[in-house]
Amino acid sequence: MTMNPGVTRDSRAALAAVRDEVAKAVVGQDAAVAGILIALLCRGHILLEGVPGVAKTLLVRSVATSLSVDTKRVQFTPDLMPGDVTGSLVYDNATSEFTFREGPVFTNLLLADEINRTPPKTQASLLEAMEERQVSVDGVARPLPNPFLVAATQNPVEYEGTYPLPEAQLDRFLVKVTLPLPPRDDEIAVVMRHAAGFDPRDLAAAGLRPVASAADVVAGADAVRRVSVSPQVITYIVDIARATRMSPSLSLGVSPRGATALLATSRAWAWLNGRDFVTPDDVKSLAQSTLAHRLSLRPEAELEGVSMAAVLDAAVGSVPVPR
């Protein structure tokens, strides 16, 4: 699909307006909003991590409302089965045949709430959907809508009754964003909104309205793929990935898939900021959210209290920045 420059500009402006629209319901968390937009533009998925009560679910619902896309929510629990997510064959008494009943994964934006509370078998049911954008049941592949995004949430502090996501599952997420507790001024703004009658269950009353569409996402994704990347910046990305593999604190470094993910997110970030080329600063800005969840610390480093963010910063800092 070939887009003319006017359509590209309109799509960029529409997606940029999503941030302002989400701000009507969510205070702060700009990095998470940007992460969702980047994941959409790169045809990827996002993992949102944060303690209960930092507006993870509200954030995703607000983005979906601003984009005017179909969204569904699955509350992941220990008894959730794969068919509850992807869909299953159901016997129809009227026709005496089995028919396929679509699961909630057949949507534009799937909110996978507390994804680490369900067993690995159900977690794995999302792998094909996330990677191939289709669901295979009884030997038949059924394509998912376009755009399609899995926005999964997990709480880092509630370990009892959880099933940590395996490396293969984590690697399917293009970006991972940690939602911090808000600073004092933001928290005061949140409480004042509620005191004034804000209802997080009624986004229309908060003034949220659609400012972009699925067509804007598709057009933006097409434009992002045309953002140019110089050989020097590509080499910079590869050298960062290789630096993580040589870190003495890590047992698992960034794979080539991680390097291509950093290339994709850097392109999307450059496009959202109005440029048609990637700079080394784009790469550095997206390194943490794109690469950190793909790394594994050595046990001795964990015992010493070494943080993943510090290790990755050190790896990035060890690579000369191209001029």
**What's the rounded Cα separation, in Å, for the pair 245 and 215?**
39
Same domain, 301 and 237: yes
The owner of tokens 């533009």 is 41
Cα(91)–Cα(109) distance, integer angstroms: 28
The structural domain count of the chain equals: 2
Query: Which CATH number fits the domain that encloses residue 308?
Result: 1.10.8.80
Out of 183, 202, 221, a domain closes at 221
Give domain status of residue 244, yes or no.
yes
Could you give the percent of the chain with pLDDT greater than 70? 96
Q: Are residues 172 and 247 in the same domain?
A: no
Range 162-179 average pLDDT:
84
Same domain for 25 and 151? yes
State which residues form the domain around 282. 227-317
Give the domain-ending residue among 204, 221, 238.
221
pLDDT at 310: 93
β 296-297/149-154 pair status: unpaired
- Whether residue 9 is predicted with pLDDT greater than 80 in this model: the reply is no
Tens digits of residue pLDDT in 243-286: 999 999 988 889 999 999 999 999 999 999 999 999 999 999 99
How many helices and strands in the chain, by DSSP H and E?
A: 13, 11
- Examine the fold and report which residue of 173, 206, 221 is the final residue of a domain before the chain moves on: 221
Verdict on whether the full-model pTM lies above 0.85 = yes
Residue 122 placed within a domain:
yes
Are residues 193 and 239 located together in one domain of the fold? no
Q: Look at residue 159 in the predicted model and tell me its pLDDT.
A: 58
269 lies in some domain: yes
